[in-house]
Amino acid sequence: MLLMVVSITLTTFGANKLTITGGEGHPGDEVTVSVSLENSDDVVVAELQIPLNDQLIYVEGSCTLNSERADGHQVTAGVKDGKLNIVVYTLDLKPLKGNVGELLTFKLNLKKEPQTYPLSATVLLGDASGNKFDASSVDGTVTIRAAKLSVQTPIVDYGHIPIRSTYTQDVVLQNVGNETLEVTAVNFTADEFSVSETSFNIGAGEMLYLSVAYAPVNRGTISETVTFVSNSVYGAKSASLKADPFSVNELYVGSASGISDEEVTISLTMNNMEPIVGVQCEFTLPEQLVYVPDSFKASQRAGGLTAISSITDGKLKLILYSFTRTEIIGNDGEIATFKVKLNGNTGWYGLTPENVVLSNATTENMTSATFGGYVEIYSPSINCNDELNLGDCAIIAEAKVKYTISNYGDAQLTINKVTFLADGYSIAEDLPINIEPWQSKEITVEYIPSVKGEYSTFMQIYCNDPQNRMKSVKLSGSIYEPNNISVVGQVTDNGYDVTVSLDNYTEIVALQMDVHWLEGMVTSQELFTIGERLKGLSYVVSPMEEGVYRIIVYSLNNSAITSGIGELFTLSFEKNISSSINDSEIVIDNIVLSSVGGENVSSQSELTYNVKISILGDINDDGEVNVTDIVALYSYILGNTAGIDETAVDINADGEVNVTDIVNLYSIILNSN
């Protein structure tokens, strides 16, 4: 019963464990692998299956049993389908000695790939009765120790680059091994390549950016190699170096600026490494730039070449050539110039070279780059009204009106000519007239009339505004024949006289007017006195309302008042002058001056005459109203009345001469001219 219980306990709780212990080494080394067995069962036979990586090669015949655990046991080992099969057995069915310890060893030959490789086993154990039982397994490892170089940039392309300069690109190196990589040499297949250091180390797993300098001296596509000599397990590694170096032969178009209507010079400059014997380029000219014929000239550098130009449909073609293949001198500088006339408004206008050829002696186009230029135009801009009214002008006078012209551009505006589409017009200013940017000037437009009536014509202003070379301005106005009446008045002993004069261009055969004067002052036809100019004409003076009288002068035989200047009549008003006259005025309206043809040719419909009463203060009768009159008035008030009219001294017309009259006289003097 005790044996049965022990047997059951062992079967149920027995533990069997296989442990693999590996090692490490360098490529080509042999590493011994130990297999240990810890068993609780009586193991008579053991079968192991261990997968092997292609970098681990089993050494034939290297599998050996540990004599301390073998008891007549034998071992066989071999590789099939990538697995190492090991069988431990005995013909007399004896179990292995002991329960723990190394069971066997075998050897593996290491290949090149640096890495740690796992060793795991599938285990099958058996006893003397043929019973099979499993065992757990503890894996081991084998490590191949080596440095391994990986070039992360297998192709390095420097691209399209000018010669005679130095360029750098990085070659990325990485040590993907597990030992320090020692680079002992960096070799190039072309002398134009170099590195600052040719030996260096890269730690395990680390990366290095190696700067490779390239200094091309010749043009043409190249394909070279850089090789890194090191302790890498796979030996030297290389990278491809590519480039398309070219010689620099560049054409530059210069820039210029100027004022519209000017000519500017455009420079062509060449920077060349190769000998150049011919140049060709084209320009599509904007309409604001006009090529000046025959202005294309070779400069000193290209003095041995002939310059020709042509232009078709705005396309300018320029050529420098030499039948003897004369080279352009030097390597940098101006080779030719041409001119354009500026025929546009303010702005920037590009000059981009097209179809450029910089030819060497073998007619190969060596152009590497072209650079355009521009022309900046500054232009004036005229700004003024489209119409000008000269107003009403008497036929005996000259119409003169100021007209403003402004320059809204950024260059000087020049008015070089002003014409009119009709005779009799002119401007007072001398030409040319220059107006700075954002400034204005006035011109005086003059017209000498010949007949009366409405008129119109056009003034044409010629200037250097490229957008408006000729500004057309409509002129208009009216010419009349001047026929004007005028009025003067004076105080009389009996009242006040109103004298009317006429300045007439047209012969007048009749006239009419209404005279407005003070209420209470009366007149009549008997107080109407005609002058020499009205002799032979009839007249009527009629009261219209209080203070208003209508005067009509006419001729029964159509006699006319001839052209001229002079008095027509005097109309006297009777009544003593009162204080109310001080602020009075005479108004004449409803004026009609009739010509022979019955037309009203009066130049005015109403006029006003301000009555000048200040003469009442002229006490000493010297023709002036001043402080001396106050002194005289004061003397009169004190009792010295010699030579002074008492009525005239009573300034405020209150019937008394006293201090208030002095105050009033002082006020008159202050307000009198």
* Residues making up the chain, counted from first to last: 673
CB 43 within 8 A of CB 16: yes
| Per-residue tokens: 80 | 């099939």
Question: Does residue 170 register a pLDDT over 90?
Answer: yes
Summarize pLDDT for 299-310 with one digit per residue, the tens.
999 999 999 999
User: Which range among 13-27, 68-82, 480-494 has the greatest average pLDDT?
Assistant: 68-82
CA angle 181, 187, 188 (to 5 degrees): 140
As a whole-number percent, the residues of the chain with pLDDT over 70 amount to 90
Residue 496, pLDDT score: 86
Listed in sequence order, the residues at least 6 apart from 293 whose beta carbon sits closer than 8 Å to its beta carbon are: none
Q: How confident is the model at residue 47 (pLDDT cuts 50, 70, 90)?
A: very high
Task: Name the least confident of 163-177, 319-333, 553-567.
Answer: 553-567
- pLDDT score of 10: 36
DSSP summary character for residue 614: G
Least confident of 71-80, 244-253, 570-579: 570-579
Judged against a pLDDT cut of 50, whether residue 12 lies above it is answered with: no
d(CA 281, CA 278): 10
User: What is the CA angle 507-513-517, rounded to 5?
Assistant: 140
- Secondary structure class of 664 (helix, strand, coil): helix
pLDDT of residue 662: 76
Q: Which amino acid is at 440?
A: S
Residue 649 three-state SS: helix
Which stretch of 44-48, 166-170, 431-435, 583-587 has the lowest confidence by average pLDDT? 583-587
pLDDT in tens, 241-252: 999 999 999 999
Helices 659-671 & 627-638, crossing angle to 10 degrees? 170
Whether pLDDT at 418 is above 90: yes
Which residues lie across from 349 on neighbouring strands? Answer: 375
Checking if the pLDDT of 6 tops 50, the result is no
Q: Across residues 34-63, what is the average pLDDT? A: 95
| pTM of the entire predicted model | 0.59
